[in-house]
Amino acid sequence: MTAVTTPAAVRRPHLTRWVLRLHRPELVAWAGLVLLGAALLLWLGGPLTDAAADGWRQYNACDWSDKCSYDQDAILRYKDAYNYLTLPLAALPLLVGAWAGAALTGRELESGTAQLAWAQGVTPARWLATRLALPAVAVTAGTSLLVFLHHRAWSAARGRIGTAKSWWDPWTFHTNGPSTVALALAALAVGALAGLTLRRALPALAVSLVATAGVWGLAQWLMPHLWPAVTRVTGLKHGYDGLYSGITVDQGLVTRTGEHIPEPVCSAHTTEECLRMFEKRNAVGFFHTYHPYAHYGPLQLTTSALALALAGLFTVAAFLVLRRLTGALRPGKGATA
Amino acid sequence: MVEFRIDRHSGVATYVQIVQQTKQALRLGLLQPGDRLPTAREVVEATAINPNTVLKAYRELEREGLVEARRGLGTFVRRSLGAAPADSPLRAELEEWAAKAVDAGLDRDDVAALFTAVLDKHFQGEGS
Amino acid sequence: MSDTALEATGLGKRFGRRGGWALRDAAFRLPAGRVCALVGPNGAGKSTLLALAAGLLPPTEGRLTVLGGTPAGARARVGFVAQDKPLYPQLTVAETLRMGADLNPERWDAATAEQVVAGGDLDPRSRIRSLSGGQRTRVALALALGKRPELLLLDEPMADLDPLARHELMGTLMAEAAQYGTTIVMSSHVVAELEDSCDHLLLAGSGRIRLAGEIDDLLAAHLRVSGAAESTDLSAHTVVESRVTGRQLTALIRPAGPLPGDLRTSVPSLEELVLAHLRNPGAPALSAAPAVTQGSAA
């Protein structure tokens, strides 16, 4: 019988090529989707923004005069297009990631083709690594391009279009930066973990979609606390400072002792009455703790880091589940009992 | 070259069938000294029986001095089996006996049963 | 190379923490170069044992040595065809074989794989999803044989095949064993299907290994006896099964010494042996090939 070749001459199996071949339709669909999204975002940031900006200039020039015409259609078209592009861009990479993770692992385990691969010269660890790495590259590349174009389109409208979304709008916040990419990777890892745990494609997909929504919610909930916020204190006469210019973390009254208390409910009809009531409670001013636009970058990076950390955790968990499923992941490691 | 036909329902052990069929071929002159027996691979590919069964049969034939295994070349016939020629006196006697049996009203099965019983008595322990 | 293809001691597998045992207390040794029938009714633990040997499942307890090492370490030298013959439905037959070549770059034997496929009158360009069960089996076997394994594990390999294809593919498997000394383990719930091709037997029943050893040795260790019901005393021997019809007693026993002279005895057929053990789960197990523990298992 043939002797086993020495490790020096080891030729590694070409697994990557076959994962690409096996999922060619999905890859083509994803590439098509990315190209379509890119084209639409270029259209949004270019002609649509310019037309809407013109409309707003006409509108502002009217100065409330009776006879005034402005291109309202262009303004509405921009608004619709922005919403219909931003929402899918915020959600789709996550769906694609969860689907890729759950379907690639769950379906293979369900149909037994995973075992087919392991019975060839492919270790389960390499199998899972390839099945995570390739969709990760595809999702990262496609989503990065879309996020970049979205940021470009959003920036083009900033200050020119009255109804343009603020930077802190939840969907806009994520679609303008790398956090969408990081969240998509977390979704991919969640999907793979669900696929390996449930070993069936459809339940794994359902669970990973719910889990992905949870990850998104968690990231969104923790995001304001991932970077120190600024606190502005103003006199009672002045009112809150910086309201509606960023992400509010906390707001309320400052007392004589410097204590921060929530703003009491005031049902009075005039501001004066309310202020008098606040004074009775020892209030000397307002405070507003928030993230100004300058914090956008740090918040994006810390949120992305959080999502990537979760992705890493889920990936480790997926490998642990795989080890429990198959025993040793690599030859020579792990005992037989 | 001989081709073995394995009858699963004969009740005869598979390796014995190979031994018998080889001897039959030697008797009938289908195999001559110097001829190569099919390799174990060739036999099992055609018959789907276990390779060790073929090797066991060939070992048996070798033990009886009918064939010899040459390393790396195959198994070759060493000598032919003394066949009972068609014109031997023994055959004439058997012909005569068979005619008597027919005259006595025995049918084919009766004759076969009788013949087998006598064979069994005189050739005990030769394995069949 | 190890002279032992498979060796199990106290091997057990349970699915889930509260699940039942699919296999328990399995102890046997399969020498290299054998063609082994893994026989037993459905649910006896045959598939579990094969998956354990293929390194696709970790054992819950006990130890299993494959080709002298761990099951995971032996994966590259082991071919495995699962019961439902999983293949990628979107690939063509030719692509599936090319994948086999790519995933087993060190050992791929394209000629053997293509020959197995060619025997089935298969168009290499047809997609796996369009194939019949028997054709899928053929491609799955081609993939496993093309790997040129030292140990080939086949779970119900013949179930989907017509008699002609069954005979032809069994011949191919036997030729592989004859030429390369490949150890083959194939499971079936039909003994007769494997009788001529196998020289070794593993009989599984209710998650236990009931019989293990060379088929000739196992048959030689048993006798079918019949005699008068009143006067026959078999208490000195291991009785696997005994039945009284009228005044006649017939039994399958493992003789432990000389038998009374008035008994009629005969060697049982493999099917009789298997059925008698399956009908009588209480009969003690027999391992005819002693589990030789050899030093190379490290």
pLDDT digits (tens, 9 = 90+) for C34-66: 999 999 988 889 999 999 999 999 999 999 999
Contacts of C168 in chain B (CB under 8 A): 48
Mutate to test the interface with C, among A109, A122, A329, A336 (most CBs of C within 10 A): A336
Q: Which residues, 6+ apart, have CB-to-CB distance to B68 below 8 Å?
A: B62, B75, B76, B78
Indicate the residue of C34, C171, C195 with minimum beta-carbon distance to B47.
C171
Q: Amino acid identity, residue A190?
A: V
Please check whether residues C281 and C253 belong to one and the same domain: yes
d(CA C150, CA C104): 14
Strands of the sheet with C4-14, listed across from one edge: C21-31, C4-14, C61-66
Q: Is A287 among the domain residues?
A: yes
Q: Is A264 among the domain residues?
A: yes
Phi/psi at A215 (5° precision): -65, -45
pTM of the complete model: 0.83
Range C13-36 average pLDDT: 89
Please check whether residues A163 and A250 belong to one and the same domain: no
> Which is nearest to C196 in space by CA: A208, B113, B7?
B7
Please check whether residues A53 and A197 belong to one and the same domain: yes
**Interface residues on A facing C, Cβ-Cβ cutoff 8 A:** 1-2, 4-5, 10-15, 17-18, 21-22, 25, 111-113, 115-123, 324-337
| C-beta atoms of A13 and C95 within 8 A | no
Please check whether residues C84 and C181 belong to one and the same domain: yes
- The DSSP output letter for C269 is P
Q: Is B82 among the domain residues?
A: no
Indicate the residue of A13, A115, A326 with minimum beta-carbon distance to C105.
A13
Please check whether residues C125 and C262 belong to one and the same domain: no
Total number of domains constituting chain B? 2
pLDDT at residue number C203: 93
Please check whether residues A111 and A247 belong to one and the same domain: no
pLDDT in tens, chain A (337 residues): 444 444 444 566 788 889 899 999 999 999 999 999 999 999 988 888 888 877 777 777 777 766 777 777 778 888 888 889 899 898 888 888 888 989 888 999 999 999 898 888 788 999 999 999 999 999 999 999 999 999 999 988 887 877 778 888 888 899 998 999 999 999 999 999 999 999 999 999 999 999 999 999 999 999 999 999 898 888 888 888 877 888 888 888 888 888 888 888 888 788 888 888 888 888 888 999 999 988 999 999 999 999 999 999 999 999 999 998 887 666 554 444 3
- Residue range(s) defining the domain that contains residue A148: 12-59+73-223+296-328
Please check whether residues A205 and A240 belong to one and the same domain: no
Q: Is C293 among the domain residues?
A: no
pLDDT at residue number A2: 43
Please, which chains are in contact with A (at least 3 CB pairs closer than 8 A)? C
| C-beta atoms of B41 and C172 within 8 A | no
Residue that is last in its domain, among C214, C243, C274: C214
Structure tokens at A197: 């745990």
Residue that is last in its domain, among C163, C197, C214: C214
Please check whether residues B26 and B73 belong to one and the same domain: yes
Q: Residue C14: which H helix or E strand, with range?
A: strand C4-14
Size of interface A-C (CB pairs under 8 A): 127
More confident residue, C13 or C261: C13
Residue whose pair of structure tokens reads 């208390």 in the numeric block? A261
Taking the CA of residue C54 as centre, how many other CA atoms within 13 Å lie in the half-sphere pointing to its CB? 30
Q: Is A311 among the domain residues?
A: yes
Task: Report the share of chain B in percent with pLDDT over 90.
Answer: 37
Please check whether residues A150 and A271 belong to one and the same domain: no
Total number of domains constituting chain A? 2
Q: Is B128 among the domain residues?
A: no
The answer to which of A183-187, B16-20, B24-28 has the lowest mean pLDDT is B24-28
Please check whether residues C74 and C186 belong to one and the same domain: yes
- Residue range(s) defining the domain that contains residue C85: 4-214
| C-beta atoms of B52 and C199 within 8 A | yes
Q: C192: distance to nearest CA of chain B, Å?
A: 10
Total number of domains constituting chain C? 2
Q: Amino acid identity, residue C111?
A: A
| C-beta atoms of A327 and C57 within 8 A | yes
Contact predicate A278/A236, CB 8 Å: yes
Range B18-31 average pLDDT: 88
pLDDT digits (tens, 9 = 90+) for C85-117: 999 999 999 999 999 999 888 888 999 999 899
Strands of the sheet with C183-188, listed across from one edge: C78-81, C151-154, C183-188, C35-39, C200-205, C208-214, C286-287
Mutate to test the interface with C, among A17, A21, A120 (most CBs of C within 10 A): A120
- Residue range(s) defining the domain that contains residue B18: 14-77
Residue that is last in its domain, among C214, C234, C267: C214
Please check whether residues C158 and C221 belong to one and the same domain: no
Please, which chains are in contact with C (at least 3 CB pairs closer than 8 A)? A, B
d(CA B118, CA B99): 18
Q: C18: distance to nearest CA of chain B, Å?
A: 42
Please check whether residues B73 and B38 belong to one and the same domain: yes
- Can you list the positions of beta strands (E) in A103-150? none
| C-beta atoms of B50 and C197 within 8 A | yes
Q: C64: distance to nearest CA of chain A, Å?
A: 7
| C-beta atoms of A113 and C107 within 8 A | no
Residue B82 has pLDDT above 80, yes or no: no
Q: Is C120 among the domain residues?
A: yes
Please check whether residues A117 and A239 belong to one and the same domain: no
Q: Is A48 among the domain residues?
A: yes
List C-alpha distances in Å: C237 to A150, C45, C222, C284: 86, 29, 10, 12
Q: Is A4 among the domain residues?
A: no
pLDDT at residue number B67: 92
Q: Is C298 among the domain residues?
A: no
Mutate to test the interface with C, among B49, B53, B54, B75 (most CBs of C within 10 A): B49
CATH number of the domain bearing residue B26:
1.10.10.10
Q: Is C292 among the domain residues?
A: no
Please check whether residues A183 and A119 belong to one and the same domain: yes
Contacts of B60 in chain C (CB under 8 A): none
Please check whether residues C223 and C145 belong to one and the same domain: no
Indicate the residue of C167, C178, C196 with minimum beta-carbon distance to B41.
C178
pLDDT at residue number A271: 81
pLDDT at residue number B54: 93
pLDDT at residue number A331: 58
Q: Is B5 among the domain residues?
A: no
Q: Is B6 among the domain residues?
A: no
pLDDT at residue number A6: 44
Structure tokens at B74: 């195959």
Q: B40: distance to nearest CA of chain C, Å?
A: 6
pLDDT at residue number C298: 34
Q: Is B1 among the domain residues?
A: no
d(CA C42, CA A72): 74
Structure tokens at C20: 């039942």
Q: Is A65 among the domain residues?
A: no
* Backbone CA torsion sign across B106, B109, B110, B114: positive
Structure tokens at C237: 């021997």
Please check whether residues C256 and C195 belong to one and the same domain: no
Contact predicate A186/A78, CB 8 Å: no
Residue C295 has pLDDT above 50, yes or no: no
pLDDT digits (tens, 9 = 90+) for C208-257: 899 999 998 999 899 998 888 777 778 888 889 888 888 888 899 998 88
Please check whether residues B96 and B73 belong to one and the same domain: no
pLDDT at residue number A29: 93
| C-beta atoms of A332 and C70 within 8 A | yes
Please check whether residues C200 and C230 belong to one and the same domain: no
Contact of C199 with chain B, judged by CB distance below 8 Å, is answered with yes
Contact predicate C251/C182, CB 8 Å: no
Q: Is A147 among the domain residues?
A: yes
Please check whether residues A51 and A146 belong to one and the same domain: yes
Q: Band of the pLDDT at C149, cuts 50, 70, 90?
A: very high
CB-based touch B/A (3+ pairs, under 8 A): no
Contact predicate C45/C8, CB 8 Å: no
pLDDT at residue number C16: 79
Minimum CA–CA partner of C163 in chain B: B48
Minimum CA–CA partner of B40 in chain C: C178
Please check whether residues A85 and A167 belong to one and the same domain: yes
pLDDT digits (tens, 9 = 90+) for C167-210: 999 999 999 999 999 999 999 888 887 888 999 999 998 888 99
Please check whether residues C124 and C270 belong to one and the same domain: no
Please check whether residues A312 and A257 belong to one and the same domain: no
The answer to which of A268-277, A296-305, B33-42, C75-84 has the lowest mean pLDDT is A268-277
Q: Is A31 among the domain residues?
A: yes
